[in-house]
Chain A
Amino acid sequence: MTRTQKLERLQEIFRDVLDQPALRITEGFSPVDCPEWDSVATVQIVLATEAAFRIRVPTETVAQLRNVAELLDLTP
């Protein structure tokens, strides 16, 4: 999977979790850009990403996910 394809997959997850069907995300997309992105949303995003990519996200990242790029870097 290319980084662009992975970004698209993550975009589906973000759209779903944040309930914004038309959302477009970039690698720099962060909680600052979106008031809906709270700590519960972060955990939802992490759980969905772990399931979709079969990975385990480290505790540090769950505690403070700064942007989309951090997740992308973790995906195979």
Chain B
Amino acid sequence: MIASSGQHFFAAALARARTCRASGNLAGAWRELRIGLDAPADFPALTAAAKFLENTAAGGRPPDRPVRRVAVIGADTLTFILPVFRALAFRDGWWPEFYDAPFGSWRQEILEPLSNLRKFRPDVTLILRSWRSAGPGRVEVQDLAAEQLALARRSAEGLGVVLWPGYDYPPQDSNLRSALEEVNQRLRAALPPELMWVDLAELQIGLAEPWDDDRLYAAAGQHPSTAGCVALVEKWLALLRSRWGKTRKVLVTDLDNVLWGGVVGEDGVEGLRIGPGSPAGEAHARYQEFLWELKNRGVLLAVCSKNNEADARDVFARRAMPLQIADFSGWLVNWQDKADNLRALADKLNLGLDSMVFVDDEPAERARVRQALPEVAVPELPAEPDGFVAGLRARRFFDATVLSAEDRGRAAAYQANKQREESRADAGSLEDFLRGLEMIGDHGPVTAAELDRAEQLLARTNQWNLTGRRHPRAEITKIISQPGALMHWFRLRDRFGDNGIVGLWLVVPRDSGTWEIDSWVMSCRVIGRGLEELMFNVLIREMRSAGARQLRGKYRPTAKNRLVAGVLPGFGFATDAGPDESGGQTYLLELALASLRPHTIKLAGTGGGAS
């Protein structure tokens, strides 16, 4: 079994939580474990989380989490369900206090007015019993249905929110199966309206893994399988969220490599993969269809993407896709911090941040939103787009979303009134977040070893590209062999991994004491992290030690590099000439007047502060 990225994500978060706990930082321990639970839920992770929670809570329960009294009762073993429930309820923001149910007496506990169950006064009562307890002998439909209905009616009072299960079905025994199907029909038709119906058979059919695990049942009396336990608890919690008005209402999606395959600013509209023709294209189309289905059930959709707005519009205008721009109630396509964007969206939609689900393929963006806006749900999705839909379905974020007429009207109103958001005031803690990324930068002159990557970066970078010059490999070699010419590569690592070489600049000497920036590019994956500042600082220092007095730079507009039009003036360059006939602008920087820029990236090997 190969550990999935989700398992790694959980294991890393649990390790951080343990480190926090060991140093007495309980708030940090709760926070890190909560983040780990954004990974796709699996039984080993959830039981490990529950053990951690219980051991840590021995020193005091997590504050700010309401306690709810939960009774899980029934005919089957419950010991495997409880830790799963503990972990996922914690993820949902509350703390269950469990009723310690005696084995096998659940009927009497419901029927007797002074039973321990009734004295416990549960906020929630969850009932679990399966085909295994109904069989193996002959089942009288009439009797079983009558018995279950009597129990259900008595459960409607004094037991809080009651989730009543239909029967699941045995894999083989067809007599038992058809009897239970009939019991289910009768039960469902006559169930008191106060009770919520849990369709176990539907869960059983929908599960990718086996629902029955005969070894586990033989060894520990446990039914359903561990995967079945997880699916059942997710279902229970979704029903409770809907009862408590906590169902999510908005799905906020990224564009590049989420709504479609590829990066529009780099690959161009025609180069994106969406729809038939490629496996990724198919997968992204499935994701769009899933969103469309959500929208038709009343879930609001919004886009939050770092992109040129015109590029994003262009994709919708020119590519046939399941979703149209009009399907989105929010449209946040800009280069701002995504946490700021989400706050603005919440204001605009007049909904809480706790009604939002944020889908993004970039780990740093997910980490940013988790840090700044813990109320927003930020699922870790599988790395491959063909797992997006299953990953989101498993979380049941939007189950039983019932929207009022007002909600529906709201969606229409926003569509009519959709505009780009004004840039928001800074989140304040963005710098803390960047510091938390633990970024390490590295750089050096381009040698034969980096030539391929240098050529590739120049050829492929469209957006953060000052001059748009595409030097082939042979030409790069020629240019950098000139005396005084200098080309540096920049690499960026953070706690999520190594981004590789993501930046380059190339400067060449012109007149005496003056150098010119021939090219300056940076991968759009790292925009907004401070790497441009680091690259600038290194450039200034290199120029000074080369004896330069002035640095000339040119912005040459291309179809896609509007993003960097203001970069040179932002770094203190003064206008020198232009604009020329193609809109180009030349700038000049007196190196004696240049000042270094702050950022939060450490330089490799220095161990010290920012360069």
A residues sitting closer than 8 Å to B (CB atoms) are 16-19, 21, 36, 38-44, 47-48, 50-51, 54, 59-60, 62-63
With both chains docked as a complex, state the minimum distance between the C-beta of A68 and any C-beta of chain B, in angstroms.
18
Question: Are B218's CB and A43's CB within 8 A?
Answer: no
At the interface, is chain A mostly helix, strand, loop or mixed?
A: helix
Residue B43 is within 8 A (CB to CB) of chain A in the complex: yes
Counting contact residues on chain B (CB < 8 A from A), the size range is 20 to 34
B residues sitting closer than 8 Å to A (CB atoms) are 1, 18, 22, 43-44, 47-48, 51-52, 55, 79-80, 83, 215-216, 218-220, 222, 226
Question: Are A43's CB and B216's CB within 8 A?
Answer: yes
Question: Are A19's CB and B51's CB within 8 A?
Answer: yes
> Chain B residue with minimal CB distance to A45?
B44
Question: Are A40's CB and B79's CB within 8 A?
Answer: yes
Query: Can you pick out 5 interface pairs between chain A and chain B where the beta carbons lie within 8 Å of each other?
Result: A19-B48, A21-B18, A21-B22, A44-B47, A54-B1
> Chain B residue with minimal CB distance to A19?
B51
Q: Which of A16, A19, A59 contacts B218 (CB 8 A)?
A: A59
Contacts of B79 in A (CB 8 A): 38-40
Contacts of B220 in A (CB 8 A): 39, 42-43, 62-63
Question: Are A47's CB and B44's CB within 8 A?
Answer: yes
Question: Are B226's CB and A43's CB within 8 A?
Answer: yes
> For the complex, what is the distance from the CA of A7 to the CA of B18, rounded to whole Å?
23
> For the complex, what is the distance from the CA of A38 to the CA of B83, rounded to whole Å?
12
Question: Are A62's CB and B48's CB within 8 A?
Answer: no
With both chains docked as a complex, state the minimum distance between the C-beta of B110 and any C-beta of chain A, in angstroms.
26
Question: Are B55's CB and A19's CB within 8 A?
Answer: yes
Question: Are B226's CB and A18's CB within 8 A?
Answer: no
> For the complex, what is the distance from the CA of A74 to the CA of B1, rounded to whole Å?
17
Contacts of B22 in A (CB 8 A): 21
> Chain A residue with minimal CB distance to B81?
A40
Question: Are A44's CB and B215's CB within 8 A?
Answer: no
Question: Are A47's CB and B43's CB within 8 A?
Answer: yes
Question: Are A47's CB and B219's CB within 8 A?
Answer: no
> For the complex, what is the distance from the CA of A21 to the CA of B22, rounded to whole Å?
10
Question: Are B226's CB and A36's CB within 8 A?
Answer: no
Contacts of A63 in B (CB 8 A): 218-220
Contacts of B47 in A (CB 8 A): 17, 40-41, 44
> Chain B residue with minimal CB distance to A42?
B220
With both chains docked as a complex, state the minimum distance between the C-beta of A16 and any C-beta of chain B, in angstroms.
6
Question: Are B48's CB and A16's CB within 8 A?
Answer: yes
Contacts of A19 in B (CB 8 A): 18, 48, 51-52, 55
| Apart from A40-B47, A43-B216, A43-B222, 11 more pairs, CB < 8 Å | A17-B48, A18-B51, A19-B51, A21-B22, A41-B51, A43-B226, A47-B43, A47-B226, A50-B1, A62-B216, A63-B220
Q: Which of B44, B55, B222 contacts A44 (CB 8 A)?
A: B44
Question: Are B83's CB and A40's CB within 8 A?
Answer: yes
> For the complex, what is the distance from the CA of A36 to the CA of B51, rounded to whole Å?
9
Contacts of A43 in B (CB 8 A): 80, 216, 219-220, 222, 226
Question: Are B48's CB and A40's CB within 8 A?
Answer: no
Contacts of B1 in A (CB 8 A): 50-51, 54
> For the complex, what is the distance from the CA of A21 to the CA of B80, rounded to whole Å?
23
> For the complex, what is the distance from the CA of A46 to the CA of B83, rounded to whole Å?
17
Contacts of A62 in B (CB 8 A): 215-216, 219-220
Question: Are B51's CB and A17's CB within 8 A?
Answer: yes
Contacts of A47 in B (CB 8 A): 43-44, 226
> For the complex, what is the distance from the CA of A18 to the CA of B83, rounded to whole Å?
13
Contacts of A42 in B (CB 8 A): 220
Max chain B C-beta neighbours (<10 A), residue from A19, A41, A62: A19
Question: Are A44's CB and B48's CB within 8 A?
Answer: yes
With both chains docked as a complex, state the minimum distance between the C-beta of B222 and any C-beta of chain A, in angstroms.
8
> Chain A residue with minimal CB distance to B43?
A47
> For the complex, what is the distance from the CA of A50 to the CA of B216, rounded to whole Å?
14
Question: Are B48's CB and A59's CB within 8 A?
Answer: no
Contacts of B52 in A (CB 8 A): 19
With both chains docked as a complex, state the minimum distance between the C-beta of B309 and any C-beta of chain A, in angstroms.
47
Contacts of A36 in B (CB 8 A): 51
With both chains docked as a complex, state the minimum distance between the C-beta of A52 and any C-beta of chain B, in angstroms.
9
Contacts of A54 in B (CB 8 A): 1
Enumerate the 4 nearest inter-chain pairs by beta-carbon distance, A residue then B residue, closest first: A62-B219, A63-B219, A51-B1, A19-B51
Contacts of B18 in A (CB 8 A): 19, 21
> Chain B residue with minimal CB distance to A17?
B48
Question: Are A40's CB and B80's CB within 8 A?
Answer: yes
> Chain B residue with minimal CB distance to A47?
B44
> For the complex, what is the distance from the CA of A46 to the CA of B363, rounded to whole Å?
32
Contacts of B43 in A (CB 8 A): 44, 47
> Chain B residue with minimal CB distance to A18?
B51
Contacts of B80 in A (CB 8 A): 40, 43
Question: Are B44's CB and A59's CB within 8 A?
Answer: no
> Chain B residue with minimal CB distance to A15?
B18
> For the complex, what is the distance from the CA of A68 to the CA of B120, rounded to whole Å?
39
With both chains docked as a complex, state the minimum distance between the C-beta of A9 and any C-beta of chain B, in angstroms.
14
Q: Which of A18, A40, A59 contacts B215 (CB 8 A)?
A: A59
Contacts of A44 in B (CB 8 A): 43-44, 47-48
Contacts of B216 in A (CB 8 A): 43, 62
With both chains docked as a complex, state the minimum distance between the C-beta of A76 and any C-beta of chain B, in angstroms.
15
With both chains docked as a complex, state the minimum distance between the C-beta of A7 and any C-beta of chain B, in angstroms.
21
> For the complex, what is the distance from the CA of A50 to the CA of B1, rounded to whole Å?
9
Contacts of B215 in A (CB 8 A): 59, 62
> Chain A residue with minimal CB distance to B215?
A59
> For the complex, what is the distance from the CA of A54 to the CA of B1, rounded to whole Å?
7
With both chains docked as a complex, state the minimum distance between the C-beta of B223 and any C-beta of chain A, in angstroms.
13
> Chain A residue with minimal CB distance to B84?
A40
> For the complex, what is the distance from the CA of A26 to the CA of B18, rounded to whole Å?
23
> For the complex, what is the distance from the CA of A16 to the CA of B218, rounded to whole Å?
26
